[in-house]
Structure 1
Amino acid sequence: MSTARHCPKKPLLPTGLDLASNATIHSFKIPPQRLNLKSNKENYTPNVSWHPATTRRRPSLLQQRAYHHEPYPPAFSSNKLRLPPCTPKTAPSHCSVQLPESPAFWLAMYFCFNLGLTLYNKGVLLHFPFPYTLSALHALFGTIGGSLLVKYRCFVPSRPSPQKVAILLAFSLLYALNIAVSNVSLQLVTVPFHQVVRAATPIFTIFFSGLLLDSHSSRARKISLIPVVAGVGFATFGDYYFTFAGFLLTLFGTVLAALKTIFTNLVQARKAKPHAALFNNPLELLYFLSPLAFIQCALMAYLTGELALVRHCSMTGFEILALLVNGCFAFGLNIVSFGANRRVGALGMTVAANVKQVLTVVCAVVIFDLTITPLNGLGIGLTLVGGAWYALIELGEKQRARNA
């Protein structure tokens, strides 16, 4: 037999009874003191105190929270500013970081990152001869950087439609091939020869723009490219040691660079309608492209046997740090390249790239203590004059189109 003491449960309802109805607007409650009942069971009348319904006591906040399930009503919140929670669905769809719109700013940043990364990649490939793995590293840093930007609310990526997914898959292949072929060709040829062949990019840009987009450049623009291409050739005249495979890969990389420039400008173009572009934000385009490019570059590194060689490669802490900084440079160049392409245009970007090639030669002369011949100086001058000429022609055409 259990000797446990039975304790009656306290009622959950308050002691007051609300009898308010359509006919009654008052309530009564039994006073807290107990009534002395007579042992002879005589009839008695309890002492009832009447209180208006408006003055009856409400249960405490602690009692309400003890028997209440989330969410609490706004009346129970101590915060006067009540806002809905921020989720990807309720967050604004525009980029919260206001990027500059000046083409001069983006071109200056493009020069700095492109120039630095070209020299940096050449130095890295001398001690880390794995171009596909280096390309996968660049794409990996783009993936990590894009994910961090999304995490810290720098922009909110939209949900890609089936049309966007198909375009992303095709463009990611071109994006990955351009990175990989550029690194492979840079390993096989010298920097001057690499810059000379890349100087033919504007020619391929004009050709593919007319072939694929039915976009024809003016005669003045085409003439302004002559001193640019010739100037780069003169500026980089020197040691032209190369292999036939290196020449073909460098030429193929030039074609890929022209196609990448055209399609990057195409998927971000918004000339007719502000919202007609597939990707209005270059960060969003980089966020979707980088994981696909990383998978493709890693697959190429695996198929060529580079990953097996990387596993047996011993590296110092300084070399690992140099690779990490190189990946950060590549991520910055991708952001600047997409942003500048959208604001400058496809052909303008190729001319800017050619001017960058001359600056690369100048920096190489300063860094590696090279000599500049009079022919090299003539080439540098021709390229700078041709780039300025093209910029003036483009500015005049835009002003005439705006005034028309």
Structure 2
Amino acid sequence: MDEKQDTRVSINSMSSGDSRSDVEHTEENHELLDKDEREAQDLEAQSPVEPSSPPPVEYSVSTSRKLFYLGLYFLLNLAVTLSNKALLRSASYPWLLTFAHTFATSIGCTALLVTGHLKLSKLTVRENLVLVAFSTLFTLNIAISNVSLALVSVPFHQVMRSTCPLMTILIYKVAYGRTYSNETWISMIPLILGVGLATFGDYHFTMLGFTLTLFGVILASIKTVATNRLMTGSLKLSAMEVLFRMSPLAAIQCLVYAGGSGEMSRFQASYSEGVFTTGLVVFIVSNAAMAFGLNLVSFQTNKVAGALTISVTGNVKQCLTIVLGIVLFNVRIALLNGAGIFIAVLGAAYYSKVELDRKRLSS
């Protein structure tokens, strides 16, 4: 799910009218996630707290715990991204690859349910429809990203995607009336500028490509916020439960897209020609297993650290991917690209400092 990256706002408002006991929606499903499930909500998007007000619950989540999930998310994200690139060179079937990811996630969550690590909440018909809408948002985000990438250059696509943190702020401000400090707004400048310089290259696009890419940025940001609201809003679902309920629907939708785009027929032809060797199949299974781990960690990190922090991490990942390309594949970059990487990392560091300062003030 990451390379199509490489998205979940109105969901909370759709489900806010349904009442259930807190016990049903805050019961823990896994020892590792226990404290985070109770404590974590969208950390960075809270309105400034008055000194006399008690600090929000999410500020009680320790910095070390957030760093643990962010670090794990970062590593898994890079691993899946690099393995996706390698797989798509050997077999260019992006929709079927995404199907493998969502199918593996569905199997993994089912195994957790069978072994007693996942317990399901009782949802109303309306709440189940919310999850159907969320899975549709997920696959639509991938579809728009794929289509737009064919109409614009890769550097332009990366620059547009780097604006996701800013779009996330705007969504929270417009939809939820949340405010951010001037320092948070300022930190977006080096984050976006840095990625722009780091990926600077041949910028070209059609008007349709620009429109679809911008729409993709909006969808990606909505998906990130919606993911957070499913777990921290009125539903208060666990990361595993959201994945368990969403993944089968997303997998079916990916198969439909694969059939409509002609991937299924091309896959059958490649299979008949013996393209899928035992080694390649093992690689695909390993990639899908990593994707399941990434999805689980990604959702939990979103809940612990917040939607905006996840978006910021995505910008840093773009820069680190370039650095790994230099180290692993001897990719050459210009001085301007190197300066962009440095600026983006500084922006991420400044954003982290702003969040830590706000947490101290609220304590």
| TM norm structure 2 | 0.77
What residue in structure 1 maps to residue 172 of structure 2?
Answer: 209
CA gap of 1:138–1:96, structure 2 versus 1, over 3 A, is closer
Report deviation, 1:115: 1.6
**Quick check: which one's helix share is greater?**
2
> Is this contact kept in 2: 1:182–1:250, CA < 8 A?
yes
What residue in structure 2 maps to residue 296 of structure 1?
Answer: 253
> Is this contact kept in 2: 1:129–1:187, CA < 8 A?
no
Instruction: Specify which of 365, 375, 389 is matched with residue 326 of structure 2.
Output: 365
In the aligned structure 2, how far is the partner of 1:254 from the partner of 1:292? Answer: 23
Report deviation, 1:292: 0.9
Deviation track 1:363-402 (CA, whole Å, cap 9, x = no partner) reads 1121221123221221111111111111111122233233
In the aligned structure 1, how far is the partner of 2:181 from the partner of 2:358? Answer: 9
Max radius of gyration: which structure? 1
**Residue identity (%):** 40
Matches within 5 A, 1:1-400: 93-99=27-33, 101=36, 102-182=65-145, 192-240=155-203, 249-269=212-232, 276-279=234-237, 281-314=238-271, 315-400=276-361
In the aligned structure 2, how far is the partner of 1:333 from the partner of 1:187? Answer: 26
Q: Secondary structure at the match of 2:123?
A: coil
Report deviation, 1:187: 7.2
What residue in structure 2 maps to residue 18 of structure 1?
Answer: none
In the aligned structure 1, how far is the partner of 2:81 from the partner of 2:149? Answer: 9
CA gap of 1:211–1:109, structure 2 versus 1, over 3 A, is same
Q: Secondary structure at the match of 2:270?
A: coil
In the aligned structure 2, how far is the partner of 1:147 from the partner of 1:182? Answer: 29
Report deviation, 1:362: 0.6
Worse overlay, 220-229 or 191-200: 191-200
| AA at the equivalent of 2:105 | G
In the aligned structure 2, how far is the partner of 1:394 from the partner of 1:366? Answer: 32
Report deviation, 1:198: 1.5
> Is this contact kept in 2: 1:178–1:253, CA < 8 A?
yes
Deviation track 1:325-354 (CA, whole Å, cap 9, x = no partner) reads 221122111111101000111111111111
| AA at the equivalent of 1:115 | L
Paired residues in the alignment total 305
CA gap of 1:192–1:260, structure 2 versus 1, over 3 A, is same
CA gap of 1:131–1:103, structure 2 versus 1, over 3 A, is same
In the aligned structure 2, how far is the partner of 1:118 from the partner of 1:248? Answer: 25
In the aligned structure 1, how far is the partner of 2:151 from the partner of 2:283? Answer: 21
Extract unaligned runs of 5+ from structure 2: 1-25, 37-64
Deviation track 1:291-333 (CA, whole Å, cap 9, x = no partner) reads 1111111112222232222222232222222222221122111
In the aligned structure 2, how far is the partner of 1:389 from the partner of 1:216? Answer: 18
Deviation track 1:164-221 (CA, whole Å, cap 9, x = no partner) reads 2021011111122234444565677766544322111112112222222222322211
| AA at the equivalent of 1:313 | S
Q: Secondary structure at the match of 1:158?
A: coil
Aligned CA RMSD, in angstroms, stands at 2.4
Q: Secondary structure at the match of 2:308?
A: helix
Q: Secondary structure at the match of 2:200?
A: coil
CA gap of 1:304–1:141, structure 2 versus 1, over 3 A, is same
Report deviation, 1:123: 2.3
In the aligned structure 1, how far is the partner of 2:150 from the partner of 2:304? Answer: 32
Deviation track 1:218-260 (CA, whole Å, cap 9, x = no partner) reads 2211111101100111111235577776655544332222111
CA gap of 1:294–1:160, structure 2 versus 1, over 3 A, is same
In the aligned structure 1, how far is the partner of 2:241 from the partner of 2:140? Answer: 20
CA gap of 1:329–1:98, structure 2 versus 1, over 3 A, is closer
What residue in structure 2 maps to residue 40 of structure 1?
Answer: none
In the aligned structure 2, how far is the partner of 1:244 from the partner of 1:318? Answer: 42
Q: Secondary structure at the match of 2:249?
A: helix
In the aligned structure 2, how far is the partner of 1:269 from the partner of 1:160? Answer: 16
CA gap of 1:97–1:246, structure 2 versus 1, over 3 A, is farther
In the aligned structure 1, how far is the partner of 2:345 from the partner of 2:331? Answer: 20
> Is this contact kept in 2: 1:122–1:186, CA < 8 A?
no
Extract unaligned runs of 5+ from structure 1: 1-91, 271-275
> Is this contact kept in 2: 1:131–1:180, CA < 8 A?
no
Q: Secondary structure at the match of 2:32?
A: coil
Report deviation, 1:277: 4.1
In the aligned structure 2, how far is the partner of 1:145 from the partner of 1:327? Answer: 10
Q: Secondary structure at the match of 1:363?
A: helix
| AA at the equivalent of 2:28 | H
Q: Secondary structure at the match of 1:312?
A: helix
